[in-house]
Structure formats: C-alpha cells, structure tokens
Amino acid sequence: MNRALALVRADAEAVLSGYASRLAALRGQHVFISGGTGILGTWLLELIKVLNEVHGFGLKVTAFSRNARNFAEHWPHLGAMPWIRWQEGDIRHLAELPRDVRYIIHAAALTDRRLFASQPGAVAEVNGVGTMRILRAANLQEDVQKFVLLSSGLACGAQPWDLPRIDERFAGALRCDEAGTVYPESKRYAEILAQCAISESKLPVVTLRPFAFVGPYQSMQLPWAVTDFIRDSFNGGPIRIMGDGVTVRSIMYMSDYALWVLAALANGRPRETYLVGSDEPVDLLGLARLITRFFNPVPEIRTRVGQAGHDRSRLVPDVRKIQGELGVTRTVSLESALQRTIEWHRCQQG
Amino acid sequence: MSTDQPTITVCDATLRDGSHACSHQISLEQIRAYAKASEAAGFDYLEVGHGNGLGASSLQVGESLVPELEMLAAARAELKHTRLSVHVMPGFATIERELKGALAAGVDLFRVGSHCTEADITQRHISHVRAAGRHVWGVLMMSHMVSKEVLLQEARKMQSYGAQGIVLMDSAGAYVPAEVTAKVGHLAAALEVPVGFHAHQNLGLSIANSLAALEAGARIVDGTARGFGAGAGNAPLELLAAVLQRQGYVTSIDLYHALDAAELCAKLFAGSLPVSNGITIVSGLAGVFSGFAKPVQRAAAQLGVDPRDVFFELGRRKVVGGQEDLILEVASELARRAQPTPTP
Amino acid sequence: MGVKKLNVAILGTGNIGTDLLIKVLRSEWLNCRLFAGRNLSSPGMTKGSLLNVPVSARGIDGILDLKGDVALVFDATSAEDHVRHAPRLRAAGLIAVDLTPAKVGRLCVPAVNLADCIDEPNVNMVTCGGQASIPLAQAITRVNPGITYLESVSSIASRSAGAATRINLDEYLMTTEHGLHEFTGCPRTKAILNLNPAQPCVHMQTTVMARIASPDLARTRAAVAAMVEAIRRYVPGYQLILEPMTENGRLVAMVRVEGLGDYLPRYAGNLDIINCAAIAFAEAVARRRHA
C-alpha cells in the first residue's frame, strides 16, 4: 500500500515541479471540489497535498461527495489532512457553499457507463440538476474567481471517422430520440446551464471537455477499454476486442489531467472552453499490445470476438488551445502511464 | 466616388451630448437655430435632450434649463428630413413618465442605453417603443470596460428585445483604434442589425476611432458640431463629414452646410465649447464617464483636492455613468486623507 | 418567565425568504413555525430542513392550516402572488409583512413610522432605495421646511439585482418616489438606480439630495445623525459616509449599506435592508404583544 501511495506522490510532485509557480493565484485560497472523491477529485487532492506540503500554498479544500466519510477513512493519507473539509452530500440537493470559497471545481457527475443504460434518468438528473444547483450556489458567493465545469469530450457529438482530431469549435449532432445519448446530452446541458450563468450573472466559468484517462485510483470495474484490458491482463487474459481493434482513442495519465484542471482553475480565461486530454491517437489493438507487454506471461489478444464493422469510432482531441493559453503539456507518455497504472494496481493487490 | 461604398447613417448628438458641455443649459432659441442648421446639413438624426437622456434632469446629473418635452417640440418643428432622436437610460427614464411623452412628441428614434454589462434592463423600454411602431436602437455605454465577447452577448440581448441597431459608446473617450476595430468588427460580423460607434475626444482619437469603426463594419456614426459634448467633446461632425467624403462613404450630408452648422454651433455655444485639458486627458486614461468632468472640477475645487486624483480614484473604483454622486464621496475622502493628523 | 416569542411564518423560500429565515432564527422575539414555498427541492427548503425548521411545499395553504398557531407572515414571493395572498391572510387574522412590490398595505420604514404601522394588518417594505433614503429624507425635510424637490440615487452591485428587479425597474423607481413623497410630504420626488458590475461587488450606496438654498446645516447633521443611529439599531451595516453638505446649490447626504451576509452575500445590502426592516417591524409587534 505504501508503495502505491509513494508512486502517486512521486507523480504528483513530478507534474507540479515545472508548473507550481504558475498556480500562484491559488495560494491561500479555499477551493470547493464537487465529486471530490472521484478519480479526478482524488488526484486533485493528491496534487494539492503536494502544493501545500512542498510548495507552501496553504490551500484549503472542501471535498463534496456522496461518500466523503468512507473515502476519508479508506485513504487516511488524504482523510487526515487538516486542510481538507469533507462534506457528505448529494449534488442535487446542494444548497450553499462555504462563505470563503472563491474557486470551484464541479466534477460531481454520474460517469459510469453501466448507469447510463440502467438508470439514464438518474444520470440526467445528477448531471443536469446537480450543475444547476452548484451554479446557483456559486452565484450567492461574494467573489468567485473561477468556476471550472467538467463537461465531456463527448458533449459535442460523435467525431467523424475521417477527422483526425476535434477542437473546441467542433459541433456535431446528438440524437435525442434514445436514452443511449443521455450522458453526452447531460454534459451538453450542463454546459448550457453554465453559459446561462455567464450571460445572466457574469460568473467566471471555464468549461473543460475531458477525453480519456488512465491512472491510479481508477476502478477496474468501470467498463472503459483501457481498464478492461488491464483487468483482463491481471486475470491472465485473454483481452477480448469485439471488432478489429481499429477504434481510435487517446489516453492521458491522471497526473497530467489533474494538473491541467488546476491550471484551468488558476489561469483559464473565463467564458472559454478547453479540450483536455492527449492528442496522441492509439487504436485499441495497439493499446492492448502496449498493455500486455507489462505482463509475464503476455496475455493473449483476441480480435473479432463480437460483431465486426462497428468499431470505426474515433475520439481524439486537438489540445493546442489549452496548451497555448495555459502553457501545459503532456508530461507522461502513454506507455509510462500504462506502466505506472499497472504497477499501482499490482501494489494494491498485494 | 465609388458606388459600392457603404451608406453611413450619421447621427448628430449636438443638442444632447452638448448638454453636458454647458451644464444642461441649452435654451429653446439655441435648439431652434441649431436644428435648422442640422436639417440643412442633411444629418440623418438629430438627438435632443439632457446629456443623460430622457428623465435625467436631476440634482444627480444636473437640471436642464428647459423642460424635456418643450425641447423636443422645438426641435420637432424644425426637422423635415432629418429625424428626431432621444437617448434613454432605464434607471433614469421610465416608460410612464418619460417614454410615453416622447412618443407623443413625435420622436422618431429612441436610443435606449445601459451600462455595457446590463443590457437586460433595456428590455421593457425597447419592447415598448417597438410596440408603439417607432424605431429603437440599443446603446452599450462605457463599452471600453468589457471584452468584445461580453459586448456581443449584451448586444444580442438588445437585438432580441427588438433593437434595430446597436451603438457602442466610448463614453469615457478611452479607446484606441485597434480596440475599436476589434470590438466593432466582432459585433458587426455577428449581429443582424447595424452597428454604430459614438466617440469621445479625451485621448485625441475621436476621428481615428470613428474611422476605424467604419472600416470594421460600423454603418452608424455619432458626432457633434465642433465636438460639442461631454469631457473633451465628441468626434466633430464637420471633420467626420470631411473624412467620410474623402473616404468615399455614401451619406446624405451636404458638406458646406455641415461646415456652416459647425460655425453656427461655435457662435451659439461660445464659451462652452469643449477643450482638451489635464482633466479630460486623465478622465480618458482613467476610463471614467466623460460627463463627470464638470462635477469633478466643481467638487474638487470646493473640497480642495486635485481633480485628476479624483478621476483616477473614480476609475479605480470602476464607477459607471449616472454615478455622479460618488464624486462627492471620493473628493471628500481624498480631502480627509490629505488632512494632517492632529497632534496630540 | 422567559420571553414569549411571536410565532411567524415565512412565505417564499427563495434567496430573500431564506435570508429572512436566518434572521428569524437569530431573533429573541420571533419563532419560525413554518417556512413555506412551492418547491421542496429548492436550495432554501434544503437549508430550512437542515436547520430543523418545519417546511411546507403547500405555500400559503400550509400556513393557513396552522390556524391560530401563527400570528404574522412574511411574504417574500412576488407582487402578483402577494395580491392573492393578502386577502386570505387578512381573513385569517394574520399580520402580513409584504416584502414584494405589491403595496397592498401601509408603507413601513421602521425608523420613521413604526408606531403608526404597528396595528396595521398589512405593511409593505417599500423598496431598498426607499428603506435607505426615506429616513434621511424625512430628517432633512423635518429640519428644513419648504423643500419642494427630493431626489434619491442608489447604486447597487449588478449581482444583487436579479431578474425580477431588472424587469421591474420602472416600478421600483416609482414606488421609491411614492414612498419619499408619502413620508415627507414633498411635492416632487425622483429616484434613480444605477447598477455597477465591478468585482469585487460594490456595497449599496444611497445618496439623498434636496434643492435648498441655505439649509440649517448644523441641525440637519444632527437630525440625520440621530436617524442613522435609529436605523443602525436594526440595520447594523447602515453607515453614513458623507455627512450632509451643500454643493452646487443642493444638500447632499450619503449612506452605504453593507449586508449582514446571513444567506444573501454581504454586498446585497439592498436586499438585506428590506429584510432587516421587516424583522424590526415583526419584533416590535412581538414586543408589544408581550408587554
């Protein structure tokens, strides 16, 4: 367990070593993080821990989540931190924010693909109403400096197969005649709610559209390709790819993701939207091969396990806007991201 | 002259912005005489009234010599082709008390303005004018204070209420041409209705800014004869007329009569013509409403402080148009700070 | 024996009603029997529940069901709604404190006419500009007879002016002018409102002006100072920032109102002053009943 914590700590320190001084606006501030115990929330806390312990930032955090208490008990290296206030609650019923909060990160959302199928109504409600509630609460604050909304790279619809990358101006179509698109639609709605707050009360909102990520603290129960492949590898394989494995994604390491979010919080331009993620494409077959190389014996990869021909799907962002404006870069390669993630899981397992 | 040059609407605000220049003491005779000249010069609109628009005659921003409806009647009688317009600021002017009277007086165009971030307070006034079948534009004041994105968002609100034009005002005379190009261009590219620009001369850039606005897509431009207006004055109409002609823009202006109108203005308002001085320059730099020049000078003189300090402090506090009462507070505070601490 | 608190109910669970709730909970003289609105999942209702206050989503019906258990109701809904509520509250014998622009009942500015209002079945809290300026205007005109024109200018933070204020700007101005006229007898009055978007938000600032050639400055200052003290007893954030002075032929005095920050942000002094005035009235009723 200690080695796992040390690994994450090292990653957090590394990603901040080049950028911490540029986060100076956050010194001494109180940040409210909704979804504070989700994977992004956890990594944000890890980075803020470094900012406080290594860089003397004196940042206070209120971590709001449905399972704040359990999380604090389970991860005492965060749970026992005096600068974190754990607030247990449902984002749909959030009434107000602590008085001195001037920075807000709204990451609370239902993002589990299994829930999209079995409880689409709950997804719509949490992601929509939850955003409405926290925006309303933010409007009662004295002096909000920045409100970062975590939307989704899917919010603007499916990327065309022949378009290498989408950028902030991309505006595709989302079907609304089926519950299957509830997640991207709920994120689109969240974005519109934020735009309304911008228009009516000039709330300084920065909208982020994150793509795909991998890293410690990520539950392997979630049905993303990368976590499936890792979990299957731990189980000895085989890795099952439904089609030919030509689906193209990009995957960023969690430490970079968390840093980019903090950068947006400190330096993002209000009213702007930024895509967050890796712009390095990888197809599923290639991803599987990268992953299996970290296992001995190397697990088998099977393609065409299901129906072929449904996997011409691409989701890769053009992130030059956030890189140019905020001076952030991807510091961890895909290989390294996978290697560290796998090692962390190994440490967790014993 | 090229015929595919755009047609520009020229608004003569001499009898409205000029009100600021003479502490709102414009007389009926002056109105009649100047209105005739404006009509002859062929300006598209003549704006008449208190510097802060309908209903603004007050202790706050100064009382007009002549009641508003009489001013409008006097101008109305002289105008045939040139149309009569008024400036309207919700917060000063109400529909019941001011707008209805102005409609009855035969005003052709209502220019309803708000601070550049508060467009939604113009909704009812704009809607009322549209419902009455009259013309209405939206005006964004102190527009130097916010980004072009905010300006567009606010302009769109006014457009959605029924505004048939949007005028960006450089109420503080704070812009430089590049900023005008960026902001006017951004609005002109996105709005359905025409965009206008209203310049002030505090930094000596009123004509350059007006030209930049036109080149960026503005089709409406404001000016006053001899710049007769708040602070260091506006873009002088006679200069605008000359520059518009030189650049080949199509207008309804008769150049000689425009020049004559300027001469007449100089005679009519001799002694009140605006000048550029330390006060107006600092006002422009500090980004403070040009109309504050006279009240700041008065308060500073009474309280024994430097008016330029008052301007910088007002700018620091981001004071908006209509907040003239804060001048006294700021001047008093500066006076208090300057007092030597009493020896025990 | 302890103080017997007056049982009150709050109708309207928006930001203003919720801020009022916090004030009632803090009051020695008032007990909140019900916090009633239409939407159980509103932030105000959530807050009320978290504070263990009985809540109801049945609006005025919830209050009327309490029959003799409530003596006074604060109505923080809307003008249209209060016009419907007022006769029902009256029929039930409940004192109505109207925080909307409905103006069904008597205008009440505690520092000036509390005693005149205490027996009224329905009192209206005028406007924020009214609460801030009427006391000063009353003091000024009392000491300087013959004033024929009064003006009140308020500047508030843009963020403290919600959609309702913005769409009803004209009504706000006319109500304030009417209030100034009612309380001073001055024939002509004018109100002006400025919204300032500066961040950090500006506090509410109100200036009262009168056209008067030679005011009795010493007595005016004394009268205004006394009035400011009276207001500060129920609006702690009310502060005279420009003593009455003459400038350019007019008498000018200026106050700033910083909100208590109970639920509304501190910069919303304009909303806070109305709430404080409403509480002051209710507490006076409570004190009178207890005596």
Which tokens go with B178?
């590049």
Q: Which amino acid is at B19?
A: S
Q: With CB atoms and an 8 Å threshold, state whether A202 touches B117.
A: yes
Q: Are B179 and B144 in contact (CB under 8 A)?
A: yes
The alpha carbon of B52 is separated from its chain's Cα centroid by a whole number of angstroms, namely: 8
CATH 3.40.50.360 given to domain C6-125+272-290: no
Which tokens go with A91?
């984002």
CB-nearest to C43 from A95, A201, A202 is: A95
CB-nearest to C247 from B123, B299, B322 is: B299
In order, the DSSP letters of B14-30 are HHHHHHHHTTT---HHH
Residue ranges covered by each domain of chain A: 2-214+251-278+316-333
Overall CATH class of domain C128-267: alpha beta
- Which of C13, C39, C45, C159 would you mutate first to test chain A, the one with the most A CBs within 10 A? C159
Overall CATH class of domain A2-214+251-278+316-333: alpha beta
Phi/psi for B122 (5° steps) reads: -95, -5
- Say how many CB pairs under 8 Å bridge B and C: 94
A142 contact residues in C (CB cutoff 8 A): 200-201, 265-267
What is the average per-residue pLDDT within C89-102? 96
Residues B92, C169: Cα–Cα separation, whole Å = 10
CA distances to B295, C242, C268 from C245, rounded to whole Å, are 15, 8, 27
What is the average per-residue pLDDT within A204-223? 93
Nearest CA in chain C to A204: C199
pLDDT for res C1:
46
pLDDT for res B1:
47
Which tokens go with C193?
């409102």
pLDDT of residue C228 exceeding 60: yes
What is the average per-residue pLDDT within C70-95? 96
From the candidates C128, C186, C201, C276, give the one annotated as an active-site residue.
C128
Name the nearest CA neighbour of C164 among B123, A41, A4.
B123
Which tokens go with C156?
């508030």
What is the average per-residue pLDDT within A192-203? 97
CB-nearest to A201 from C47, C159, C266 is: C159
pLDDT for res B341:
73
Residues A208, A97: Cα–Cα separation, whole Å = 21
Q: With CB atoms and an 8 Å threshold, state whether A271 touches B149.
A: yes
The C-alpha of C169 sits at a distance from chain B's nearest C-alpha, in angstroms, of 7
Nearest CA in chain A to B153: A199
A199 to chain B, any CB pair closer than 8 A? The answer is: yes
Residue B257: active-site member: no
Chains touching A by CB (3 or more pairs below 8 Å): B, C
Q: With CB atoms and an 8 Å threshold, state whether A95 touches C158.
A: no
Residues C185, C190: Cα–Cα separation, whole Å = 13
Nearest CA in chain A to C49: A95
Residues A297, B282: Cα–Cα separation, whole Å = 77
CA distances to A185, A278, B116, C229 from A188, rounded to whole Å, are 5, 21, 28, 53
Question: What number is the ipTM of this complex?
Answer: 0.95
In order, the DSSP letters of C125-145 are ---HHHHHHHHHHHHHHHHST
Phi/psi for B109 (5° steps) reads: -130, 130
In order, the DSSP letters of A292-324 are HTTSSSPPPEE--SS-TT----B--B--HHHHH
Which tokens go with B295?
């009240």
- Say how many CB pairs under 8 Å bridge A and C: 37
The C-alpha of B91 sits at a distance from chain A's nearest C-alpha, in angstroms, of 18
CATH number of the B278-338 domain: 1.10.8.60
Residues B94, B125: Cα–Cα separation, whole Å = 8
CB-nearest to A96 from C47, C159, C266 is: C47
C158 contact residues in B (CB cutoff 8 A): 117-118
Q: Are B117 and C166 in contact (CB under 8 A)?
A: no
Residue ranges covered by each domain of chain C: 6-125+272-290, 128-267
Q: What share of chain B is helix, strand, coil (3-state, %, to 5)?
A: 50, 15, 35
Q: With CB atoms and an 8 Å threshold, state whether B120 touches C163.
A: yes
Tell me: the pLDDT tens digits for A32-48?
Answer: 999 999 999 999 999 99
pLDDT for res B93:
98
pLDDT for res B343:
65
Task: List chain B pLDDT tens, one digit each, 344 residues.
Answer: 445 789 999 999 999 999 999 999 999 999 999 999 999 999 999 999 999 999 999 999 999 999 999 999 999 999 999 999 999 999 999 999 999 999 999 999 999 999 999 999 999 999 999 999 999 999 999 999 999 999 999 999 999 999 999 999 999 999 999 999 999 999 999 999 999 999 999 999 999 999 999 999 999 999 999 999 999 999 999 999 999 999 999 999 999 999 999 999 999 999 999 999 999 999 999 999 999 999 999 999 999 999 999 999 999 999 999 999 999 999 999 999 998 877 66
For chain A, what is the radius of gyration of the CA atoms?
20
Overall CATH class of domain B9-268: alpha beta
Name the nearest CA neighbour of A331 among A13, A25, A7, A86.
A13
A136 contact residues in C (CB cutoff 8 A): 43
pLDDT for res B322:
94
- The secondary structure of residue A244, as a DSSP letter, is S
Q: With CB atoms and an 8 Å threshold, state whether A199 touches B153.
A: yes
pLDDT for res C20:
98
The C-alpha of B243 sits at a distance from chain A's nearest C-alpha, in angstroms, of 38
pLDDT, averaged across chain C: 95
Given its phi and psi angles, is residue C169 left (phi above 0), alpha (psi -120 to 50 degrees) or beta? alpha
Phi/psi for B296 (5° steps) reads: -65, -45
Q: Are B119 and B158 in contact (CB under 8 A)?
A: yes
Nearest CA in chain C to B119: C166
CB-nearest to C248 from B94, B298, B329 is: B298
Q: Sign of the C-alpha dihedral, residues A121, A122, A126, A132?
A: positive
pLDDT for res B344:
63
Q: Do domains C6-125+272-290 and C128-267 have the same CATH topology?
A: no
Q: With CB atoms and an 8 Å threshold, state whether A199 touches B117.
A: no
Q: Sign of the C-alpha dihedral, residues A218, A223, A227, A230?
A: positive
Residue ranges covered by each domain of chain B: 9-268, 278-338
- Sequence-distant (6+) residues with CB within 8 A of B213 are B168, B180, B181, B184, B195, B196, B197, B199, B221
Name the nearest CA neighbour of B176 among B196, B199, B154, B155.
B199
A202 contact residues in B (CB cutoff 8 A): 117, 150
pLDDT of residue A152 exceeding 70: yes
Nearest CA in chain A to B146: A202
| Pairing mode, strands C250-257 and C238-247 | antiparallel
Q: With CB atoms and an 8 Å threshold, state whether C192 touches B58.
A: yes
